[in-house]
Amino acid sequence: MTVDGSARAFRQHGRVVVVGASLAGLRAAETLREEGFVGALTMIGDEPSEPYDRPPLSKQVLLGKVPADGTALPRRRALDAEWRLGVAATGLDLTGKRVRLADGQEVGFDRLLIATGTRARPWPRETEADLDGVFVLRTADDAARLERRLAARPRRVLVIGAGFTGSEVASACRERGLEVTVAERGPAPLVGALGGVIGAVAAELQREHGVDLRCGIMVTALEGDPAGRLKRAHLSDGTTLDVDVAVIALGAMRNTEWLAGSGLGAGPRGVACDAGCRAFDVHGIVTDDIFVAGDVARSPHPLFGYQFLSLEHWGNALAQAEVAAHNMISSGPDRRPHLWVPAFWSAQFGVNIKSVGVPPMGEELIVTQGSLAERRFAAAYGHQGRVIAAVTFDHARWIDFYREQIESAAPFPPVFANVDRRPEGLRPVGADFPDPALPTHGPTVTLSGYSPSERRVTFTPARA
Amino acid sequence: MTATSGTLLHQITDYANRADPYPLYAELRRTPVARQDDGVYTVSTYWEILSLLHDPRISSDVRNRTPQAGGDLPPEDDTTLPPSFLRLDPPEHDRLRRLATRPFGPPHSPRRIHDMGGDLVRMVSGLIDGFQGREQVDIVEDFAYPFPVMVICKLLGVPHQDEVLFHGWADAIVAALDPSPAEGPQERQRTAQRARTELGTYLAGLVEEHRRAPGDDMLSALITDHGPDGQMSPVELITTAVLLLIAGHETTVNLITNGTLTLLRHPEALKRLREDPDLAVPLVEELLRYEPPVQLLPQRTALADIDIAGTVIPAGASIWLMLASGNRDPRRFDDPDRFDPGRRDNEHLGFGSGIHYCFGAPLARLEAQLALTGLARRLDGPRLVADPPPYRQNPVLRGPRHLPVAFDGVTA
Ligand SMILES: Cc1cc2nc3c(=O)[nH]c(=O)nc-3n(C[C@H](O)[C@H](O)[C@H](O)COP(=O)(O)OP(=O)(O)OC[C@H]3O[C@@H](n4cnc5c(N)ncnc54)[C@H](O)[C@@H]3O)c2cc1C
């Protein structure tokens, strides 16, 4: 790889500041060093702890198998960075190139990486959210508190929201032998991420494991006793539920408030950036020194109609951090696009769930391997005659095949013969998302290449 | 584009090139997917092999092969035994493999292999103790063969004194896996079939004994345990036991022997291992890349037309996945022909990948790590007596038939 003069000078003497010292921040910093950045590196994080991993928090940690402070991220190498932990960034001065900190100090930079991720969406009514027994789950502290409470064996846990986090919490409760009610506004668990067809499978899974699952229902109020302890929940169907623990699992909010007024294109849906991880300013013009990665980023993906995707996936944070770091110390043609195909996993009720692509873009779904009834299957989602996503339940080893199908814009429904195709997999059905995206006609884009440096997009004007 | 390089594949399977097939693999990789004269499609590059190992349009069940597809494979099974899960597709494969996994590994038996560690160390030291007073041993006969056999017997619950019985059966069965035997394929098949039947009968007896008096072994667990998938039928149980017994040691013998040979060819690596037993972990991974015991998978069949690397493999075609070649693909591994025991980026194909990923991998790793560390630590001044050593006939399960090693003494 050639490094031009300015990039070389930056690698030697530049100042990089990373705000958000978690998965994306850490991996970006490591990549900077790996790729030869020897300048000054500052890591700013509002959590006091060293970077740690979140996926185990709702799994092994809630089961009491791993302590909440036991998920520190493994270090790939020594960083030689200045760490400012336990202090939040509160503002950004774009022209002066400085980050303002909560303790009143300022840190100057030549290039900035924004990796502030998301936080749990709190229960909307503050007095109710403050009741003893009401929890969210995003940080290690959250997990420690909740785990302690579960270990004290509450009589019943109420989980509000049956997305991935809520479902995993419910699963952990059942595995610990606790009574749990899940209240979900939508028609089924996971319905927003995977659609109603798969949601129905998830619902069955929960009920079979003894979850009191109530769909199409909202929790209207949480009620405490005089001592301020949660004791009851009121539901939209007029019923009440005696509970001593409620876990609010209503999704996440992007940590962009500190960027308000900075002139960056940052808002509730994240910080918009180009495929090279460079942030947009409020005019939609790309900056050259401000980069974004991880849950807080929103970036366009060629495979998915150049839609700006906001992803909350571990693998995305990792891949995007690596691309951002590479681009921060490279110039012009050496820069790479972030062409990662979205993918995530979940473990709940003994089932390993994996997904690739963007399922909510799918209008139709076909079970290509295994069967929904056995809850071991692979299913592909179709969008305008091509494979746009896939999900597997206990069939993870096939997932790479479906990723390749998505990358090559393979036709949907798939017509080929393959192992473990059952009668139900011969015809597509509606994927049944609550709010289907309106189909638009766009050109087709495919991805090729294996290593990051050879990833390429091929643009095909139209598929016949 | 379709290329023919029939002579090349012929050269690879030709015994004359057994000691060093790697230059031939390098030539084969020039056409990542190549149609051979007899209709077989060889796939020799890393990413293409990996992709096909995860491709549901590929079957491991030879019953899906068209008669004209070439790559004739001796059936593993005879009239009395159905195919083992190694040669089945989902859903049958998945069910049998899940059942076999319950008493073997996570999530239900996460400690089975770990808990054997102590026994394994004792077996290794016992065998090396037996080298005392000798100046030369055959690593195959005196070490790399008896060790995994003892292990698999212990694991399955086969009485120690019966080991000799199936030594011969195993040899005959494995010989028949050779897709291009030098001579007498029919005779070989008949011998193998007889061995398989005898082994099956023997195991059927053993199953009865374990049913009456179950022990702490895998066979007992398979017979008595009930999971969500129910239980294996008696005939499935026997087929699986045959598979575990054969696959459970024939590959490990080669891993240990190839490992010893490679270490003796790289004295600095041997020295490092002697000083730092922790090196065994990455070193065994590198061995699995550099000299994998299973060199190729000749039993895959295309269920549909598959467009890959510019070639369409037609439905019904026989596919050979050249794992050892993929392991030396310079597009995947830096300096692939270099043996680098500390190599970090090492996702080799030594155990395959996908749903047929080596069932016994955790055990094979542990056995090889302990065996090689034991040899490195205790043999004084070891040296090869013949290089290359005489190889076994088989190009699929490739390894030395004998590995005479001379030494100055044995450290306690
Ligand atoms: C319980 C749980 C389970 C999960 N399970 C899975 C899973 O199974 N599979 C999967 O793919 N993904 C999973 N995820 C998602 C995954 O953890 C995230 O995608 C990943 O953590 C994103 O990394 P990030 O670095 O972008 O953001 P984060 O991990 O959110 O890190 C952002 C960091 O920035 C800090 N910060 C925020 N604002 C400021 C500020 N102003 N100044 C300084 N610091 C700030 C935050 O406190 C935080 O430490 C899970 C997440 C949670 C919470």
Which residues of chain A from 348 to 377 reach within 8 Å of chain B, CB to CB? 368-370, 374, 376
Q: What is the pLDDT of residue A143?
A: 98
Residue B228, in any domain of the structure: yes
Residue B348, in any domain of the structure: yes
Residue B68, in any domain of the structure: yes
Contacts of B50 in chain A (CB under 8 A): 400
Residue, of B109 and A439, whose pLDDT is higher: B109
SS3 call for A325: helix
Q: How far does residue A16's CA lie from ligand 1's centre (Å)?
A: 21
Q: What is the pLDDT of residue A5?
A: 82
| H or E element at residue A197 | helix A191-208
User: Please, which residues have CB within 8 angstroms of residue B237's CB and are 6 or more apart in sequence?
Assistant: B207, B222, B223
Q: Do B90 and A419 touch (CB under 8 A)?
A: yes
Tell whether ligand 1 has an atom less than 6 A from the beta carbon of residue A7.
Answer: no
Q: What is the mean pLDDT of chain B?
A: 90
Of B303, B304, B354, nearest to A397 by CB-CB distance is B354
Amino acid residing at B60: S
> CA–CA separation, B298 vs B347, rounded Å?
21
Percent pLDDT > 90 in chain B is 73
Domain of B62, CATH number, reads 1.10.630.10
Report the predicted TM-score, pTM, of the whole model to 2 decimal places.
Answer: 0.91
- From A27, A31, A46, the mutation candidate for ligand 1 (largest count of ligand atoms within 8 A of CB) is A46
Residue B137, in any domain of the structure: yes
Q: What is the pLDDT of residue A443?
A: 45
Q: Is residue A421 within 8 Å of B89, Cβ to Cβ?
A: no
- From A61, A105, A116, the mutation candidate for ligand 1 (largest count of ligand atoms within 8 A of CB) is A116
Domain ranges, residue B91: 8-410
pLDDT string in tens for chain A (464-residue length):
457 788 999 999 999 999 999 999 999 999 999 999 999 999 999 999 999 999 999 999 999 999 999 999 999 999 999 999 999 999 999 999 999 999 999 999 999 999 999 999 999 999 999 999 999 999 999 999 999 999 999 999 999 999 999 999 999 999 999 999 999 999 999 999 999 999 999 999 999 999 999 999 999 999 999 999 999 999 999 999 999 999 999 999 999 999 999 999 998 889 999 999 999 999 999 999 999 999 999 999 999 989 899 999 999 999 999 999 999 999 989 999 999 999 999 999 999 999 999 999 999 999 999 999 999 999 999 999 999 999 999 999 999 999 999 999 999 999 999 999 999 888 999 999 876 443 333 445 567 677 777 777 776 554 43
Tell whether ligand 1 has an atom less than 6 A from the beta carbon of residue A136.
Answer: no
Domain total of chain B: 1
In 10 A of CB B392, how many CB atoms? 22
Asked if A404 is an interface residue toward chain B (Cβ–Cβ < 8 A), one would say yes
> CA–CA separation, B298 vs B300, rounded Å?
6
Residue B139, in any domain of the structure: yes
Q: Residue B77: is its pLDDT beyond 60? A: no
Residue B69, in any domain of the structure: yes
Full 3-state SS string of A21-64 = CCHHHHHHHHHHHHCCCCCEEEEEECCCCCCECCHHHHCCCCCC
> CA–CA separation, B141 vs B133, rounded Å?
17
Residue B2, in any domain of the structure: no
Residue B1, in any domain of the structure: no
> CA–CA separation, A308 vs A52, rounded Å?
27
Residue B234: pLDDT band with limits 50, 70, 90: confident
Q: Do B304 and A416 touch (CB under 8 A)?
A: yes
Q: Distance of alpha carbon A400 from its chain centroid, rounded?
A: 19
Q: How many Cβ pairs closer than 8 A exist between chain A and B?
A: 52
Residue B162: pLDDT band with limits 50, 70, 90: confident
Q: Do B56 and A419 touch (CB under 8 A)?
A: yes
Q: How far is CA B171 from CA B175, B177, B188, B198, B269, in A?
A: 6, 10, 11, 13, 32
Of A370, A400, A416, nearest to B91 by CB-CB distance is A370
Residue B88: pLDDT band with limits 50, 70, 90: very high
Question: Which residue bears the tokens 């401000």?
Answer: A290
pLDDT in tens, B348-400: 999 999 999 999 999 999 999 999 999 999 999 999 999 999 999 989 999 99
Amino acid residing at A207: R
